Structures are given as structure tokens and as C-alpha cells.
Amino acid sequence: MIKIGQALQEGTKAILNSGVGQTPLLDASLLLMKAANLTRPELYTHSEKLLTIDQYSHFKDLVTQRLNHHPIAYLIGYKEFYNLKFLVNEDVLIPRSDSEVLVEQTLDILNNYTSPKVLDLATGSGALGISVAYNNQSAKVTLADISGAALQVAKQNSKNLLNYELEGVLSDLFSALQKRKFNTIITNPPYLSQSWYLDVEPQVKKEPQLALIDEGEDGLTIIGKIVNQSPTYLEDGGVLLIECDMRQNNTVASLMKTRGFTNVSQRSDYADKLRIVWGYWYEDA
């Protein structure tokens, strides 16, 4: 038998010594809260309480998985994003704070529309579209993804966080959205090239490759398709917003201008890295 405080110290030390991640105490805390069904205050106020054999065994198993580079979000089953708690599993990309800027920019743009129709393309967990719907209740949001498993996660998240299920469409980009038009299309598509993917952290490689890797050498094949095809699915005066790698940002902006988008703009994430590109589509421009 072991006390909660002792287990926390043990897990923190193991994660620290392994060099996995940069927040060993936080990682161990989250895993212990999961294993013993504890709140964060209870983790510390009950530090002298004994764990059951099953709780301790579960905790050790979670720590072992963490030492093997399994992401914390998958181990505890959720990730906080834009002040909301999203269910995640290995079928979806883990939402990242970098993408919150895309939500902020979308919400700002939506102030110019009444009852806007929004498409979250390659939605994954639904983090982008659901965050938009949660913060703009007049928006009608559609979630689309090529993965049926991911779409089920997104639908469940919408029910949990919005108390209703957003429309979900199983679609390879726009293939199942024929004759549909939206005021705003937001997307965080796969944009890592194969060579870039080789250099990512081991825990990132536990996430679905379908949501990460683009087939092109520059990582821009899918983004290029979205830029070229999206005008067909945008209302006159509609907006396309794309998240991409900072190494691609200027190229994506150029692609949008070449395609005929106007007022093309760029924005940095919280780490001051250019990640967001958006532009307006006017049919007679």
C-alpha cells in the first residue's frame, strides 16, 4: 500500500528521469487523478490517504505508458482547448493551444455575419467548430472529416459541450458537400511533409498520421486542394481560414492571392509564429 503523496513523488521522479515531456509533476498529477478518480485539490489535501491496490496498479500502468511517449491527453481521455474540455482518443489529433488563435480570428470575422454558416473542414475532435459554436450561438456549424472514427468523437464532443449534436459529414475534403455553401470555412488540415514528420517528437508520432502528414514534399498538397476548391463552397463575401506551419505561411498566402482571394491576411500564434492565413472570396472580384 502506498500513500497518494508518495505515489505522486514516485511518478514524478520516473517521468523526470525518463526525459519524457517538460512537465513531469503535472504529468504525474494528471495520471494519478485519472487512476484514483481525484480532483486536483484532493490530490494534495488527501496526500496521506492510501491508494487501493487497483488504483496504484492503474497509476503505474499509466506512468509506464507515459514513459513510452504516449501523450497525456490520450491517457487521461481529454484535452482542454479554448476553455472547453474535449474528449480525445487515438482516432483524433490532440487540440493544441496554437490553434486557439484560429478560433479567435474566426469569431472576430463572424461578427460581420448574421446567422453565419460555418464549415470546420478536417475537424478531428471538433475543437475548432465546437469552440466557434459555443461562443457564437447564432452560427450554424458543420463538422466534416474523412475519418468516420474521428467524426464520432467530434459529434460526442458537440453533444457534451453544446447539449446538441452538430451536423457531421463524412467527407474527403469537399467530396460529400456538393452544392453546399458557407459563409466561413475553417480548417487545420494535414500539412507535415514526410521529412518534417521524421523530426517531430516521439509522442506526436502516437497521433493519427492521417491528420498530420500531407503527401507532398512541401506539405501543401491538401492545402492547395482546399484553396483551389473552396470558392465553390463559399458564399459571395465568404472567408477561408487556414492553419499551417510557419514555414508555409507566406506560400499559403500567395496561393490564396493567386486563386483570387482578396484581403489576404496572416496572424501569429501565441508563440509569435505565423500560423494563420485567411482571405475573402468575392465572385465578381
CATH code, 134: 3.40.50.150
- Distance, CA of 123 to CA of 11 (rounded, Å): 34
- Model confidence pLDDT, tens digit, residues 42-84: 998 999 999 999 999 999 999 999 999 999 999 999 999 999 9
Residue 25: the pLDDT is: 96
Helix, strand, coil proportions of the chain in percent (round to 5)? Answer: 45, 20, 35
Cell numbers representing residue 194 in the block: 514526410
Q: Do the Cβ atoms of 209 and 257 come closer than 8 Å?
A: no
- Model confidence pLDDT, tens digit, residues 226-254: 999 999 999 999 999 999 999 999 999 99
Whether residue 58 is found in the same domain as residue 103 = no
Whether residue 134 is found in the same domain as residue 270 = yes
- Model confidence pLDDT, tens digit, residues 92-149: 999 999 999 999 999 999 999 999 999 999 999 999 999 999 999 999 999 999 999 9
Domains identified in the chain, total number: 2
- Distance, CA of 13 to CA of 28 (rounded, Å): 9
Answer whether residue 82 is part of any domain: no
Question: Cell 470558392 sits at which residue?
Answer: 231
Whether residue 130 is found in the same domain as residue 29 = no
CATH of the domain at 27: 1.10.8
Residues forming beta bridges with residue 35, ordered by sequence position: none
- Distance, CA of 190 to CA of 198 (rounded, Å): 15
- Distance, CA of 75 to CA of 59 (rounded, Å): 11
Cα angle value 26/84/9 (rounded, 5°) = 10
Query: Average of pLDDT values for 21-36?
Result: 95
Band of residue 285 on the pLDDT scale cut at 50, 70, 90: low
- Distance, CA of 252 to CA of 98 (rounded, Å): 18
Task: Tell me which residue range forms the domain holding 14.
Answer: 4-68
For 15, the enclosing helix (H) or strand (E) is: helix 4-18
Residue 284: the pLDDT is: 80
Residues forming beta bridges with residue 276, ordered by sequence position: 243, 267
Answer whether residue 84 is part of any domain: no
Answer whether residue 78 is part of any domain: no
Phi, psi angles (nearest 5°) of residue 274: -60, 120
Residue 21: the pLDDT is: 83
